[in-house]
Amino acid sequence: MREEILRLERVTCREQGVVQLENFNLQIFRGEIMGLLAVNSHGLNTLVRLLRRRLPLERGYVYYRERQINAWGSQIPDRTLQRIGIIENRSSLVSGMTVADNIFVLRPSFKSWLIRTSLLRTQLKPVLEQLGADFSPDDYVDRLTPFQRFVVEMLKAVLGGCRLIVLREVSTFISDADLSRLHAIIRKFAQEGISFLYIGYHFEELREICDRTALLMNGTIPKVLLRGEPLFPCGEPYHQLVRGQMERENSTSPTKRVAFQASHITGGEVRDLSFSVQPGECVVLQDLNNQIFADLLDLVTGQLPLEKGNFEMEGKPFAPGYTREIAILLEHAHDSMLIKEMSVLDNLCFTLDHRLPEVWRSNRLRRGIERECGELLDPELFSLWPEQLTTPQKYDLIYTRVLLQKPKVIFCAQPFQGADMELRMRIWNHLKRLQEQGAALVILAVNLADSLSLAHQLIRIHRGGPHEYYSREDFSRLSDTTPWADFYQHFG
């Protein structure tokens, strides 16, 4: 009989008066890689918090390694606290310390008064060699790549006694090439009896690595898919939306005018990067090492000097700097792009003063903006503050603001990061609307995710070069595990 590592049985959990998990059931066995596909995100954060520390339950039971660690209406002693490792986008490693220090010295069970560096190195070196790691125990974690830091966090969890490791949104900060290496390491640990809960938003990614995949919808698990079982019909509306758009685009011819061009750009981590994008077109820059995004945006906005190369906008030299002709959408835009001290209407008008100089003085003009945006935003939202909005409403506000701004070029940093299937469809529609308005899109991505469904060009950026350039006709050559690659293979 298989050893059970985790079981959540009929769990109902409420936070701030809202039921987040309802009659939630999940079972993970020893050495199993269990996928969790978030069709929508309701209850996902609560589930992770429940595994990280014990939350009070309204109903149900939680078992870890066949031992009850949480139950409704009862208090479980602290000595039964679970050892579950959780690895997310934000690294938990301590900067300024070595790999060995992070793995051994900072774990609760380390009780030595004297740190014997040579002993720690001797213990860790064979483990790294066994995994084929390309870094040493003495390397500082600040200098590691995202993939290397991820491996260190996994080792820290395993050597710290965790028998279950939760991996959340791995593909948003690990590139395609490194993802295959990571999957090999996960399988190796699974063979040694470590279990994994692999949380993601793309079935293509989960089906490659997971033994079973549970669907999370509205705080419950309606279905568990076995390996090889197709996903249907949860993602079908989204697939139909993208398929229809691609069929329409295949029947239209692109314009020849270039909206924005970068020629041999060099500065910071960016090395000899060239690309061009036309109005209504989308180019995806895939950073395989997750190193250049911040520097590229700083080069465009003039915060970082160009060492080499130049920019052009509509065939004319473009001096880097802040301009309303360029819009920049940062990662997690619903958190990073709104001003909490301003109302929803003020946030909406924030980038309009170049088109409507009287926008801050004319109430009549602002009422006209409310009427104009009535089809895109719920009119009842205009009197609210950003913190009162839901996440989808925040995204609606941000993209409507950019739509009113009417920029010629839009740089989007990982627009689909952290978005469930429903929110991805919403963001996809907003980006399509901006394209139809004539804006040129430049999407910065670590993993392609849904960006490929919008792309006309793909540039895969290697550290130090050379870079790989793909036109839409070449997308069919991409790996089958790439989201939406099967669509391009169909249309290719």
- Burial of 331 by CB count in 10 Å (0-12 exposed, 13-18 middle, 19+ buried)? middle
**CATH of 238-491 among 3.40.190.10, 3.30.360.10, 3.40.50.300, 1.10.10.60:** 3.40.50.300
Which tokens in the block code for residue 332? 């997690």
Amino acid letter at 30? R
Which pLDDT score, from 0 to 100, does residue 91 have?
Answer: 81
* Rounded to 5°, angle at Cα 340 from 339 and 342: 75
Separation CA 31–CA 22 (nearest Å): 27
Which pLDDT score, from 0 to 100, does residue 106 have?
Answer: 61
DSSP state of 98: B
Cis peptide before 386 (omega within 30 of 0): no
Separation CA 474–CA 482 (nearest Å): 13
The segment(s) of the chain belonging to CATH 3.40.50.300 are 4-235, 238-491
Widest pairwise Cα distance in the chain:
73
Which tokens in the block code for residue 68? 């009850």
Of 293-297, 298-302, 367-371, 407-411, the poorest mean pLDDT is in 367-371
pLDDT in tens, 163-191: 999 999 888 888 777 888 899 999 999 99
Structural contact between residues 468 and 434, judged by C-beta atoms closer than 8 angstroms: no
Quote the percentage of the chain above a pLDDT of 70.
86
Q: Which residue has the higher pLDDT, 121 or 334?
A: 334
Which pLDDT score, from 0 to 100, does residue 358 have?
Answer: 80
Instruction: Report the top-level CATH class of 4-235.
Output: alpha beta
Averaged over 406-419, what is the pLDDT?
92
Which pLDDT score, from 0 to 100, does residue 79 have?
Answer: 45
Confidence class of residue 193 from pLDDT cuts 50, 70 and 90?
very high
Averaged over 130-145, what is the pLDDT?
87
Averaged over 339-348, what is the pLDDT?
88
Averaged over 113-134, what is the pLDDT?
76
Structural contact between residues 155 and 194, judged by C-beta atoms closer than 8 angstroms: no
Which tokens in the block code for residue 60? 């149900």
In this model, does residue 220 exceed pLDDT 90? yes
